[in-house]
């Protein structure tokens, strides 16, 4: 429903400052001709030892900044300062519904309200807010939920993976309108569909997503799911190898437009994760999320090398420990290579291991910062100590040489 921007923001202010009803709020995007100080802002009520507070987290291009405000003039001052920023979108969740505000090109406000889909606990005893509602149609289409919106007992683990992946994505959503997401090695696309649904709700503008997988069965199945959901105009799937994917250029072929704003590589097997990371790095993708699966390649390279650092020889004597060390070393090297190429990288556990043993997530945000000499020393020490190069370094030889020369 169109309304004046001042009226819409006044509605948002009232709900943001209601300590008994606010669940979570996000401001993102930018208005036409505006440039917010922050890439995104997130507000939520929290319970601290000192008492209830309004927690405000603002995100720049490099990090998050968090402050906790008392529910009085302090919170009002913080909220008013954010409302003055030229954000293009506000999304406010309360215990009894949601308020969405989108600022049009004409500077007017499109306002949408929806009722809450579940009862919420009080701010003094609130469970973690769900980002993916069990009633979402895509969960039913993927066989995770029943027709009445209940998670199937046999699919609880999969639902937790979906929910926690979206939670890991949320803090690093880039500012892009329109936004393109590419999922390399998408498989059955559980997380692909979850990503699109969430971004379509919170991103500042239109979102498109392309899933890539080498299996024809995956392309055909996922395309049918997208059709049944009515998403086929925005969500598509192609069949092919990760390294061969050919996507159309953005913005009429302008050289400064990235091929993708977000690249996903979720449980792509073994070196398929490296293929995806290499493609993302070549595209200079702003945000990359990779959940690696099996790590066989580096272990084979270690065996072929014939010699390893003497201190770890006892570890490699045991097959199970050798496998786990190979996993850790592979992902540590991947994170380091991305840092050398201008990314800020976090290695996090995105879901509890009770739900899946493959629960490591590499979350990378491109900063274009030149790598320090200390980082290059770390890389060189790894190569010298282990006597090998990882597969990802081989894929990105030219890019690493160019980065070292900066």
Is the Cβ–Cβ distance between 362 and 331 less than 8 Å?
A: yes
| 74 and 207 housed in the same domain | no
Which pLDDT tens digit goes with each residue over 64-119? 788 899 998 899 999 999 999 999 999 998 887 888 898 888 888 888 887 754 43
Q: Would you state the pLDDT for residue 220?
A: 96
Does 13 share its domain with 154? no
Q: Indicate whether this model's pTM tops 0.85.
A: no
179 in the same domain as 72 = no
Residues in Cβ contact with 346 at an 8 Å cutoff, skipping those fewer than 6 apart: 362, 363, 364
Closest-CA residue to 169 (of 262, 92, 245): 262
Judge whether residue 180 has pLDDT over 90.
Answer: yes
> What percentage of the chain has pLDDT greater than the value 90?
42
At what angle are helices 319-340 and 297-305 packed, to 10 degrees? 110
Model pLDDT, residue 248 = 64
pLDDT of amino acid 127: 47
Kindly tell me if the per-residue pLDDT of 396 is higher than 50. yes
Instruction: Please give the pLDDT value at position 250.
Output: 58
Confidence at residue 13, expressed as pLDDT on a 0 to 100 scale: 93
Tell whether the model's pLDDT for residue 294 goes beyond 80.
no
Q: What is the pLDDT of residues 240-274, one digit of tens each?
A: 988 887 776 555 445 556 789 999 998 777 788 99
pLDDT(124) > 60: no
The contacts of residue 332 (CB under 8 Å, 6+ apart) are: 347
Sheet holding 360-366, edge to edge: 235-239, 207-213, 179-184, 262-266, 287-291, 360-366, 343-349
Between helix 271-282 and helix 319-340 the angle, nearest 10°, is: 0
Domain presence at residue 314: yes
Domain count, the chain: 2
DSSP bridge pairs for 362: 290, 347
211 shares a domain with 179: yes
| In-domain check, residue 122 | no
If asked whether residues 168 and 300 sit together in one domain, one would say yes
Shared domain for 95 and 200, answered yes or no, is: no
The verdict on 56 and 154 lying in the same domain is no
**Is residue 125 situated within a structural domain?**
no
DSSP helix, strand, coil percent of the chain (3-state; round to 5): 40, 25, 35
Q: By residue range, what is the domain housing residue 80?
A: 2-115
Tell which wins on pLDDT, 393 or 203: 393
Residue 100 in domain: yes
pLDDT given for residue 256 in this prediction: 58
User: Where among 115, 148, 171 does a domain terminate?
Assistant: 115
Q: What is the CATH number of the domain that holds 221?
A: 3.40.50.150
pLDDT bin (cut points 50, 70, 90) of residue 126 is: very low
Asked if pLDDT for residue 125 goes beyond 70, the answer is no
**Count of beta carbons in the 10 Å neighbourhood of residue 183:** 29
Average pLDDT score over residue span 285-290: 94
> Does residue 305 register a pLDDT over 80?
no
| pLDDT above 50: residue 387 | yes
Residues 40 and 146 in one domain: no
Give the mean pLDDT of the chain. 85
């Amino acid at each position: 429903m169109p309304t004046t921007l001042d009226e819409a923001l006044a509605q948002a202010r009232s709900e943001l400052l209601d300590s008994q009803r606010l669940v979570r709020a996000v401001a993102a995007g930018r208005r036409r001709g505006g440039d917010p100080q922050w890439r995104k802002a997130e507000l939520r009520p929290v319970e601290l030892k000192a008492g209830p507070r309004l927690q405000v987290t603002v995100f720049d291009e490099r990090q998050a900044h968090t402050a906790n405000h008392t529910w009085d003039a302090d919170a009002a001052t913080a909220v008013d300062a954010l409302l003055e920023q030229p954000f293009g979108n506000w999304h406010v969740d309360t215990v009894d519904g949601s308020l969405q505000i989108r600022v049009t090109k004409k500077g007017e406000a499109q306002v949408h309200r929806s009722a809450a889909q579940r009862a919420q606990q009080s701010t003094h005893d609130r469970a973690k807010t769900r980002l993916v509602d069990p009633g979402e149609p895509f969960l039913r289409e993927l066989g995770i939920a029943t027709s009445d919106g209940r998670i199937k007992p046999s699919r609880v683990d999969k639902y937790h993976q979906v929910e926690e992946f979206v939670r890991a994505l949320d803090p690093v959503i880039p500012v892009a309108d329109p936004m393109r997401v590419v999922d390399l090695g998408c498989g059955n696309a559980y997380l692909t569909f979850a990503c699109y649904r969430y971004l379509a709700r919170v991103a500042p503008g239109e979102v498109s997503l392309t899933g890539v997988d080498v299996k024809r069965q995956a392309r055909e199945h996922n395309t049918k799911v997208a059709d049944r959901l009515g998403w086929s105009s925005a969500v598509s799937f192609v069949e092919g190898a990760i390294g061969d994917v050919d996507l159309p250029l953005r913005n009429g072929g302008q050289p400064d437009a990235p091929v993708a704003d977000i690249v996903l590589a979720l449980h792509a097997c073994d070196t398929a994760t490296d293929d995806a990371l290499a493609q993302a790095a070549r595209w200079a993708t702003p945000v990359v999320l990779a959940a690696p699966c099996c790590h066989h390649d580096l272990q084979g390279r270690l065996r072929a090398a014939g010699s390893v650092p003497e201190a770890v020889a006892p570890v490699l004597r045991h097959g199970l420990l050798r496998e786990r060390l190979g996993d850790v070393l592979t992902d540590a090297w991947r994170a380091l290579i991305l840092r050398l190429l201008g990314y800020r990288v976090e290695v996090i556990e995105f879901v509890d291991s009770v739900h899946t043993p493959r629960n490591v997530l590499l979350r990378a945000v491109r900063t274009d910062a030149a790598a320090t000499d200390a980082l290059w020393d770390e890389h060189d020490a790894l190569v010298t100590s282990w006597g090998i190069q990882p597969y990802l370094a081989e894929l990105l030889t030219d890019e690493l040489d160019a980065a070292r020369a900066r």
